[in-house]
Chain A
Amino acid sequence: MELLTNLAHGFAVAVTPMNILLCLIGALVGTLIGVLPGIGPIATIAMLLPITYKLDPTGALIMLAGIYYGAQYGGSTTAILVNLPGESSSVVTAIDGHQMAKKGRAGTALAIAAIGSFIAGTFGTILVAALGKPLTSVAQAFGPADYFSLMVLGLVCAIVLASGSVLKAIAMIFLGLLLSTIGTDLETGEQRMTFGLLPLADGIEFVTLAMGMFGFAEILRNLENTESRDLVQQKVTNLMPTKADMKEAAPAIARGTVLGSILGILPGGGAVLAAFGAYTLEKKIAKNPQEFGKGAIRGVAGPESANNAAAQTSFIPLLTLGIPPNAVMAVMVGAMTIHGIVPGPQIMTKQPDLFWGLIASMWIGNLMLVIINLPLVGLWVRLLRVPYRMLFPAILLFCAIGVYSINNQPFDVVLTAFFGLTGYMLIKLGFEPAPMLVAFVLGKIMEEKLRQAMLLSRGDPWTFLDFSKHPISTVLIVVSVVLLILAVTPALRKKRDEVFVED
């Protein structure tokens, strides 16, 4: 019953005209960047951070959250109609979605994607609300040692679930941790790795790193492969799926929702992995798997439900434990920090408006998105005719203005360009920058907690494994070690790689 009271409170916060408007803006921007290939939620949220300065924190986070789940809706439109993933989380939607569109069933595919997303979004939102309270009370019992070990577990999960080479994922984690130590030391005030540059004394501004690695580096990479857009030309009709379609898709939606919700909570998961996982699952349990790749409706329903469920549930660790499970949530940490909010269990007790308002707005946003995406699909398709050569200069200008405005510091813009170049190089060398971003955000807190724990234990590094004093920490470390060993075990690695195989 308390849950209902809290949710009612949340809705009261979320339905103020201002917050409704911000939610709508977030959903619209999310759909926009979701539809447009070549720009993702990470770069967009980073780009819009400075704009939210003047808003109150609740409104700002409502808008930024809308961008993330809005992108999950928009991404499917491009995937189905153009055979090009608008978002990396809709890569697998393109496989069967576009085949459906070629057979004249574009409307059905779009509708199933939107309905599946909405059902998954609703379920995800309820899960966030339900798990909020219990997880928060667990988190409140955590000491510095437990927190440190929890973050270690988070990073290990990010390694296990990352695509590509495990070694390279671990390397990116270490690079992120190393970058996070740049700046003034918290305890002694000494300058660390700043080259004597004043703007680096406060450490690397998070937005410059995120924007460089995900905004600029993406543009550099996109410019290399000139894409061919295979737009389905005929008018999209029949937005209502038939009863048979619904019956066919319903179990896939249910499975995608559950799988996506779980993968969203896990560190290193998020929308992309959820979609891949759901597609693999659908294909594996299908009665006639040969239909997949030729326009199977379940190949659209499963992944599209999963990615949106994950987009909602990835807020759970952020809001309750203060730990961003993926790169988008890492950017949300940046957003909260700008507004003076420390992510963690205290949000729910100290800022109930923000906590419940954000959750309620997610459901409202999902409802808006169904309307934004289905009847207005023609409008979004027309946007796809904007050539990339006009898109990227605009993104560059927005990014530059956004980065400059954080501190009115031209140096930050230079640094962003530097990280763009570095990110481009890392991608070319087969590295995945997303775990680095998570490690960068966690690095600062981790070092702080580590040093606190060491201080409390008078310098005993085994305190994290001392079951009598820190049982939670001990369990978390043991789980991390087991996971890490499993991750490098050939048998499990083979399974993991299979999930990421597209066809």
Chain B
Amino acid sequence: MIAKPPGGRARSIQDIVAGAVLIGIAALALYLVNHLPAAGRVGFASGTAPRLFAYGLAALGAWIMISGFLKEGPGVDSSLAPSVAGLFVFFIVMWLVDQGLNSLAKSTGVVLFDKISALVGFIISGGIVAVANGFPGKDRFGMQGPLAILGSVLFFAFTVRDLGLAVTGVPMIVISYFASREGSITEALIFGAAMTAFCCVLFPGILGQPIPLWPTF
């Protein structure tokens, strides 16, 4: 895993990427607090602390990045870049779909859109998992695990309020099962049904959590 580029210069890809990520986060934060005052009457205002921390983070990021060019160190998994990038896109798409449908629902007054957003969430997450799973040369980006895990959690997030725990639980577990390379769909279904039943009894039942149990159509 030691990255040794041609030419023999020592460098650590991991540190270079890590530094770049930190600088990126700091830049985003600075952009977001741009409208807040940087200093107030007694030295501190709402924008002071975030700016201080963001500058610190950027400086550290630069330091880590520079040291990455100077010393030898580990590289990054080849799957890291595509999977993280792909997942962030996936995330943003999911969020936009939900936001868009919600605002559409508000402007038209049709509450049904909420249900559609749940459905779209289900189709997107399920579809992506299926595609990732069925690709020739199975799981070539090493994305199947993360996709299935996050897909199942997002599916839960987007559907639980409308469909209820009793309906959401089984597909959620089935989706997450794709993350593992073992097991069968039958096992997933049986295990999912058992876990869902258990959680339905435990959380809204015994513990009295106010989580919706059945679909609210």
Contacts and interface: CB of A to CB of B under 8 A. Distances in A.
B172 A216 contact: no
Contacts of A416: 153
A50 B44 CA distance: 35
Nearest to A399: B153
Contacts of A54: 207-208
Contacts of B2: none
A187 interface: yes
Q: Which 8 A-B pairs have the closest CB atoms?
A: A413-B157, A389-B180, A185-B46, A459-B42, A459-B43, A429-B18, A178-B53, A193-B32
Given A171-B61, A178-B29, A187-B46, A223 B150 contact: no
Given A54-B207, A414-B95, 11 more contacts: A178-B57, A181-B50, A185-B46, A190-B36, A224-B142, A388-B180, A393-B172, A393-B173, A404-B211, A413-B157, A431-B18
Most A Cβ at <10 Å: residue of B36, B165, B209? B209
Nearest to A222: B145
B126 interface: no
B210 interface: yes
A454 interface: yes
Interface of A: 50-51, 54, 165, 167-168, 170-171, 174-175, 177-178, 181, 185, 187-188, 190, 192-193, 195, 216, 219-220, 223-224, 226, 387-390, 392-394, 396-401, 404-405, 408, 410-411, 413-414, 416-418, 420-421, 424-425, 428-431, 447, 450-451, 454-455, 458-461
B122 interface: no
B87 interface: yes
A171 B180 contact: no
Contact of A216 (B32, B88, B153): B153
Most A Cβ at <10 Å: residue of B41, B153, B210? B153
Contact of B49 (A223, A388, A450, A458): A450
B168 to A, nearest CB: 9
A430 to B, nearest CB: 5
Contact of B44 (A193, A417, A451): A451
Given A192-B33, A421-B84, A400 B41 contact: no
**Chain A interface helix/strand/loop/mixed:** helix
Given A175-B22, A175-B57, A458-B42, A429 B17 contact: yes
Nearest to B146: A220
Given A192-B46, A410-B160, A392 B176 contact: yes
B108 to A, nearest CB: 21
A177 B195 contact: no
Contacts of B14: 429-430
B77 A428 contact: yes
A244 B79 CA distance: 53
7 contacts: A54-B207, A178-B57, A185-B46, A193-B33, A216-B150, A393-B188, A425-B21
A170 B60 contact: yes
Given A389-B177, A393-B177, A167 B153 contact: no
B173 A397 contact: yes
Nearest to B77: A428
Nearest to B152: A396
Contacts of B70: none
B198 to A, nearest CB: 9
Given A167-B60, A193-B29, A393-B173, A400 B156 contact: yes
Contacts of B210: 405, 408
Contacts of A388: 180
Contacts of A389: 177, 180, 182-183
Contacts of A429: 14, 17-18, 21, 76
A342 B26 CA distance: 31
A401 B201 CA distance: 13
Interface string B161-192: 10001000100110011011111000010011
B54 interface: yes
A471 to B, nearest CB: 22
B50 A192 contact: yes
A393 B43 contact: no
Nearest to B67: A167
A50 B208 CA distance: 11
B199 A401 contact: yes
Contacts of A193: 29, 32-33, 50
A447 B52 CA distance: 11
B42 A220 contact: no
Contact of B74 (A226, A393, A430): A430
Contacts of B47: 192
Nearest to B35: A190
Nearest to A456: B42
Most B Cβ at <10 Å: residue of A401, A431, A460? A401
Contacts of A168: 18, 64
Contact of B209 (A387, A393, A405): A405
Contacts of A219: 149, 179
